[in-house]
Chain A
């Protein structure tokens, strides 16, 4: 398949968050600031990229019946790597993301790409797809994190631009749902699906 098409699909026409609505738990859970959203996006991209690579390399050796458990073990191994590396080198981010790092294992986006794309395509396409989907995911998380940070604490990437406390509701749980709802509507409008 055309590589350019794979990339635009991951970023725009099949954006994992805004269009496919996959992996919403971390999207809503960690996006209290743009930095946290970006960090979570990069961690997920790494897992997606590596698991797509391994799955596409060994797809011919996995018996069809046990393919889902095998994919899960592959994904869980890379998640554990991310978990250990992040705990050692980025302890602040690790604390902020908390439970959602081990939960990358059950992110339907990662398993979905292994099953729907990497197990059916050649390695280079699978790598491109993992990267594109990961970037689309990171973009959405950073956008939602940015929106919540701007409205909720009047700052962006930790730099404050206005005095005051901001609208608290956007830092708390309801703001995540409402922010994502409106961002999804705007995104669908821009790409012309509405």
Chain B
């Protein structure tokens, strides 16, 4: 039951993009087409889950025993940066097809604040490892849901005659606002 609460909470109620404002850069930047946003969501799910597991282990088995939890930010970002690099190399070797699909999105992961954000939130919420993994996957699904829906809307938006001053980023932001408004309907679900 507790896992269902985590999943529904992360996907709908506290959607990582529309309620927590994490991962806005890829949300605005890579949402031009549905196909690229699907690739982006896949890469996010992959890296977010791995990063949460690795940072969880580092926090509980290195930072806490040595009493150096103030190094959390530095160690996490280093781990995430090297993890992304490593995933890129391994994927290229063992699964060229998957690398083709996710490859161009992987370098963007290091500066995607959703990844670091979820890793820090897992510690803040005091989840155990399994809860952390579920939390990471659910957040990645929430990210995917938001960005794919948004990309679909933006594909249609290109065909519409938007007033000159609102074209591009301003219109996209207002659309995101309306999406956030819709997601607020889920508040109180959990």
Contacts and interface: CB of A to CB of B under 8 A. Distances in A.
Interface of A: 21-26, 28-29, 68-69, 72-73, 76-77, 79-80, 83-84, 99, 102-103, 105-108, 111, 169, 172-178, 180-182, 184-185, 188-189, 194
Nearest to B72: A102
A76 B21 contact: no
B115 to A, nearest CB: 8
Contacts of B22: 25, 29, 103
Interface string B9-31: 00000000011111111001100
A174 B178 CA distance: 6
A178 B173 contact: yes
B173 A184 contact: yes
B77 A173 contact: no
23 contacts: A23-B25, A29-B20, A68-B81, A72-B110, A73-B74, A76-B74, A76-B78, A77-B74, A80-B70, A80-B71, A99-B117, A106-B77, A106-B112, A172-B184, A173-B21, A175-B177, A176-B180, A177-B176, A177-B180, A178-B177, A181-B176, A184-B169, A194-B165
A78 B25 CA distance: 22
B111 A169 contact: no
B134 interface: no
B65 interface: no
A108 B110 CA distance: 10
B173 A80 contact: no
A61 to B, nearest CB: 19
Contacts of B166: 181, 185
A102 B120 contact: yes
Contact of B173 (A25, A26, A68, A180): A180
B127 to A, nearest CB: 15
A72 B21 contact: no
B184 A29 contact: no
A182 B178 CA distance: 13
Name which of B28, B117, B170, B174 has the most chain A CB atoms within 10 A of its CB.
B170
A22 B184 CA distance: 26
Majority secondary structure of chain B interface residues (helix, strand, loop or mixed): helix
B129 interface: no
Contacts of B172: 181
Given A25-B24, A184-B173, A69 B116 contact: no
B89 interface: no
Given A77-B74, A99-B117, A108 B25 contact: yes
Contacts of B171: 181
A24 B27 CA distance: 10
A175 B174 CA distance: 9
Nearest to B71: A80
Contacts of B181: 169, 174
A178 B24 contact: no
Contacts of A182: 170, 174
Interface in B59-89: 70-74, 77-78, 81-82
Contact of A83 (B28, B73, B78): B73
A29 B25 CA distance: 13
A177 B174 contact: yes
B180 A99 contact: no
Contacts of B174: 177-178, 181-182
Nearest to A75: B77
